[in-house]
Chains A and B, each alone.
Chain A
Amino acid sequence: MSVPTTSPLPPSAGIIETEGLGRAFGELWAVRGLTLNVRRGEVFGLVGPDGAGKSTIIRMLTGILPPTEGAATVAGFPIEGGEEQLKTRISYMSQRFGLYADLTVEENLSFYGDLYEVPRRERGPLEERLLGFSNLTPFRKRLASNLSGGMKQKLGLACALIHKPEILFLDEPTNGVDPASRRDFWRILYAMLKEGVTVFVSTAYLDEAERCSRVGLMHGGRMIQCDTPQRLKQGIPGRLVELEAGQPRAALEILSGRFDSGHVSLFGGKLHLYADSEEEVAQALAALGEAGIEVLGAKSIPPTLEDVFIQQVTHTPQEAVS
């Protein structure tokens, strides 16, 4: 079989296109029925808990895990048959970064540069830029094992960018990384976006998902929603109410008995209640009144992506999940 080495991608087509993509491990479907179209220059976020199938999707799209059913093209190459060509155009940063702990910052960077056959004379300035971006210049001679978690992750990103990929696949890149390093990390990503790189990122942090241009919510191997964060938030039925109560914990207990799991929670000393209708809010207020709990205030607040996610998950019929 002969696959052209230049990208056959027409400009209008999605840079990642999947059709009914699925992968089973034994009896268990890790991902099923994924149909997706990611456009060039997007930051696409795959959001969901552990075990929702995020890593499996990324591994299939990077050509290292054959799908059980369905098909996909990445940068114009099919993931089955064209995987070696697509690997030259993408970058993949796995959850464990894939750094060599006993190599220095510089050695890791030039190793990955060589793997992608980046010409030496182009590489110098790029290396300098990537190290500068990630604030790693002073540590270029340091062993990767002696870097902090955040620095390791930035180095992983620098290694992934050394060959100027068209698409960057990041599997939970900021897992276990502190907020300050996460900010630096996103700063580097924005710089790449300016140059037209497409970013496909998975995360379990819903606040991070807000930074994406489009988000796919994953649950039990299915993509249950896919849209911009704004539209996802606007799209959920019902409303989110913030209640200020005299005894917030007692109030939580009372309301927990009346609402679904995840619909009531204590947040920053206030209760967040996700109600389907006005009547439900009224019922909740009445219940608190009966229990002698003073309600100091109640107001509607915009939902977060986490609220959207929990609302979606608890309303997804079970058969669709298993």
Chain B
Amino acid sequence: MNRPALSWIRLAALVRKEFIHISRDPRSLAMAFLMPMILLILFGYAISMDIKTLDLAVYDQDKSAASRQYVEGYQASGYFRVAGSIEDYASARAQLDRGQVHLALVIPSHFARDLEQGRSPKVQVIADGTDANTATIALGYAEAVTNRFSTVRQHATIELAVDNRVRVWYNPDLKSRWFIIPGLIAVIMSVITALLTSLTVSREWESGTMEQLIATPVQPIELFLGKMAPYFVIGVADVLFSVAMGVWVFGVPLRGSFLFLLGVSSMFLVGGLSLGILISTVAKSQLVASQLAMILTFLPAFLLSGFLYSIDNMPRFLQVATHVVQSRYFVDVLKAIFLKASPPRFLAEDLAFLGLFAVVVFVAALRKFKKKLT
């Protein structure tokens, strides 16, 4: 069927109307900014992969100068705090059980003697494995302290053949916040965009104005663009606001091009807002729309975007599934822009997928939306 071309008068009217809705409802506008702020603060502070200080219980059976020097090595590393000395295994177990300490260190009674005789004494480190992540990192640190102790001891006698030094690029101190915040911005934005547009369309179904609209000559594309335009502006403002918070509140360096970041965000926003519209073609009440938007955006963005959990470590089928998760690409690109200052050509694949997602979802929403009641 031949349709008349898109009418700019109608589109402008729809956009203007949407802006009026937003301006007359300051609470929802405040929500659009409060939500990312609260989420950034909550997640930014709560999710931290860094381990600050680990409490250590020491069961020193040797009580020699050497063993004390070894324990001091822990203290001096800055990762551990010696919480106290204990005199038996039972106390070690009790303190670990109660969660008073993260680790217990057991030094055998022949520690100093073995060292003197050039034998390697066996030191036992017991970690609380209920928090596997912390335990692994703690054991790593403990190993590092032990190695250091060994090298210092050996250094006195022989020269080391290899000087083993690790350098971490982009995030030299391995501050987890540096990679969490850019990812978090992507996660938050994918939730907000889908929520904003799906709510505004389902509200019209609820209030009965949609029935009126579909009985006018308005075209679906005008309707959708009219809905998306104002929220695109809000979305851009949200991105800028979140980036500003990342840089100035959380101290994450923004190394890449700001304009590039803006460009990528725009592509992402079009996809996210279209997803909201697509949701609203199915969900005709605000309640269902918001639930659907949360399920379709928050869960995948949180779990499958590589924001927290590396996609490379996922089982194969999940890795494949992550390709349809829009936030995956945005997480990737934001991290790269923030920390690596990567130029666009290095991120071509991510950008292509972001663009594809936006087009496919927008077209799907257009096809799904009928100017009909059911």
Contacts and interface: CB of A to CB of B under 8 A. Distances in A.
Are any A and B Cβ atoms less than 8 Å apart in their complex? Answer: yes
Interface of A: 1-3, 59, 62-66, 81, 83-84, 87-88, 90, 92-103, 107, 110-112, 114-117, 143
Interface string B188-223: 000000000000000000011101111111100000
Contacts of B212: 92-94, 97-98
Contacts of A63: 215, 371
Nearest to B216: A115
A87 B215 contact: yes
B42 interface: no
A116 B12 CA distance: 12
A65 B372 contact: yes
Interface in B3-25: 3, 7, 9-10, 12-13, 16-17, 20-21, 24-25
Nearest to B1: A1
Given A102-B25, A107-B17, A114-B10, A2 B2 contact: yes
A117 B10 contact: yes
Given A87-B216, A94-B208, 18 more contacts: A2-B2, A3-B2, A64-B371, A64-B372, A87-B215, A88-B217, A94-B211, A96-B209, A96-B211, A97-B212, A100-B21, A100-B209, A101-B207, A111-B17, A114-B13, A115-B10, A117-B7, A117-B9
Contacts of A115: 10, 13, 213, 216-218
A114 B1 contact: no
Interface residues of B, number: 28
A117 B8 CA distance: 9
A114 B222 CA distance: 12
B373 interface: yes
A97 B17 CA distance: 17
A116 B217 contact: yes
Contacts of B208: 94-98
Contact of B1 (A81, A96, A143): A81
Contact of B211 (A2, A64, A84, A102): A64
Nearest to A99: B209
6 contacts: A84-B371, A90-B215, A96-B207, A98-B211, A103-B17, A143-B24
Contacts of A102: 20-21, 24-25
Contacts of B21: 100, 102-103
Interface of B: 1-3, 7, 9-10, 12-13, 16-17, 20-21, 24-25, 207-209, 211-218, 371-373
Contact of A114 (B3, B9, B209, B213): B9
Given A84-B3, A114-B9, A100 B17 contact: yes
B283 to A, nearest CB: 19
Given A94-B212, A96-B208, A103 B9 contact: no
Contacts of A62: 215
A98 B16 CA distance: 17
A107 B20 contact: yes
Contacts of B218: 115
A107 B211 CA distance: 19
Contacts of B373: 59, 64-65
- Greatest chain B CB density within 10 A among A90, A107, A114, A143 is at A114
A103 B7 contact: no
A116 B216 contact: yes
Nearest to A62: B215
A66 B208 CA distance: 19
Instruction: Enumerate the 3 nearest inter-chain pairs by beta-carbon distance, A residue then B residue, closest first.
Output: A98-B212, A114-B13, A96-B208
A3 B211 contact: no
A95 B3 CA distance: 29
- Greatest chain B CB density within 10 A among A84, A90, A115 is at A115
Nearest to A143: B24
A117 B9 CA distance: 6
Nearest to A171: B211
Contacts of A90: 215
Contacts of A59: 373
A112 B215 CA distance: 11
B372 A84 contact: no
Contacts of B13: 110-111, 114-115
Nearest to B219: A84
A115 B24 CA distance: 21
Contacts of B372: 64-66
Contact of B209 (A1, A98, A116): A98
- Greatest chain A CB density within 10 A among B16, B208, B211, B212 is at B212
A24 to B, nearest CB: 13
A286 B9 CA distance: 73
Contacts of B209: 96, 98-100
A217 to B, nearest CB: 25
A101 B13 CA distance: 16
Contacts of B25: 102
A87 B371 CA distance: 11
Contacts of A66: 372
A209 B340 CA distance: 75
Contacts of B3: 84
